[in-house]
Amino acid sequence: MNALPGADTDQEIAAAGCHPLFRDVPASVEFNKLRKRLLRGVRQAIEDFAMVRSGDRWLVALSGGKDSYGLLALLLDLKWRGLLPVDLLACNLDQGQPNFPKNILPDYLGANGIPHRIEYQDTYSVVTDKIAEGNTYCSLCSRLRRGHLYRIAREEGCAALVLGHHREDILETFFMNLFHGGRLAAMPPKLVNDEGDVMVFRPLAYAAEADLARFAEAMRFPIIPCDLCGSQDGLQRNLMKAMLDDIERRMPGRKDTMIRALANVRPSHLLDRELFDFAALGAASIPVDRDA
């Protein structure tokens, strides 16, 4: 595994200088702790899942929501400090949703000197043509978006597509698969696409959504709402989110415990016969004292 270079994160945060995104951040102790906590989590995920190859280029998907803004800012922070030896290219895919504010992202990225690409592809019309009114568009929309992002990664010479999914996204996916898919699966922090030529990374795998929300507010990101298509009501993912939030309220710390559990699997204590050879399992022969 290629570990990230550098010393202790606390010392790095105190170092002079910062990326332009951080010029006007709050000077409070609370914000500094939040920033350090998020950076530690991102560095840990990058190290745990061996994401870095020095000199690679990463395409960072930027939707305009709090999570992708936070991801980009944290990666730029690490790169600024010499702790992330890759090139970063921010990319927004304008999918043609009604009332999408086309100027916000290019203006923000340009003002902060962030290399970027804005791509227009009207997938919204494709989705609304194929999905009956009243149904949710998210699944098809996501597949179409991912296909274009893979293409852009190839065109830009990027080895990896980097996404802003966080701890709650991973847990919600796990429970959706458990309750509705009949399988134990979540969002892996690292995978390769079906074609085998683009890696997908999720460096926010350990980041709490509440921390990212506080970070986005403090950083004053120009947030673009994710419900421009009007298809977000009644999603199963929202039910999973509510369930997890209720568990966390009743038993604080359970979300962190669940994330740790996903990295602590015991195949012999599950029921998957493909994963564990139950047929070969037997008790050892125990000598019996016939004279006892």
What the chain holds in terms of domains, given with CATH numbers, is 28-262 (3.40.50.620)
Q: How far apart are alpha carbons 68 and 212 in whole angstroms? A: 10
Instruction: Identify the band that residue 18 occupies on the pLDDT scale cut at 50, 70 and 90.
Output: confident
pLDDT tens-place string over residues 108-145: 999 999 999 999 877 666 666 666 565 565 666 677 78
CB-neighbour burial class of residue 140 (10 A; exposed 0-12, middle 13-18, buried 19+): middle
Exposed/middle/buried for residue 17 (C-beta within 10 Å: 0-12, 13-18, 19+): exposed
pLDDT for the residue 266 = 95
Q: What digits encode the pLDDT tens for the residues 31-77?
A: 999 999 999 999 999 999 999 999 999 999 999 999 999 999 999 99
Mean pLDDT on 225-243: 72
Answer yes or no: is pLDDT of 158 > 90. Answer: yes
Across the range 219-231, mean pLDDT stands at: 76
Helix (H, G, I), strand (E, B) or coil at 94: strand
- Grade residue 229 by pLDDT with cuts at 50, 70 and 90: low
Beta bridge partners of 191: 200
- Residue 28 scores a pLDDT above 80: yes
Q: How confident is the model at residue 10 (pLDDT cuts 50, 70, 90)?
A: very low
- 66 and 213 Cβ atoms separated by less than 8 Å: yes
Bridge partners for 201 per DSSP = 162, 190
Distance CA(185)–CA(177), nearest Å, equals 6
Task: Give CA angle at 229 (122, 129), nearest 5°.
Answer: 55
Mean pLDDT of 266-288: 87
Mean pLDDT, range 7-16, rounded to an integer: 45
How far from 180 is each of 137, 157, 168, 173, 262, CA to CA, in Å? 18, 37, 18, 10, 18
Window from 93-102, 175-184, 207-216 with minimum mean pLDDT: 93-102
Can you say whether residue 92 is alpha, beta or left, with left for phi > 0 and alpha for psi between -120 and 50 degrees?
beta
Residue 240 CB contacts under 8 Å (≥ 6 apart), including other chains: 171, 172, 175, 176, 179
Helix, strand, coil in percent for the chain, rounding step 5: 45, 10, 45
- The token duo for 166 is 């966080």
* Cβ-contact 166, 208 below 8 angstroms: yes
pTM score, whole prediction: 0.85
What pLDDT does 7 receive? 43
Give percent above pLDDT 70 in the chain: 82
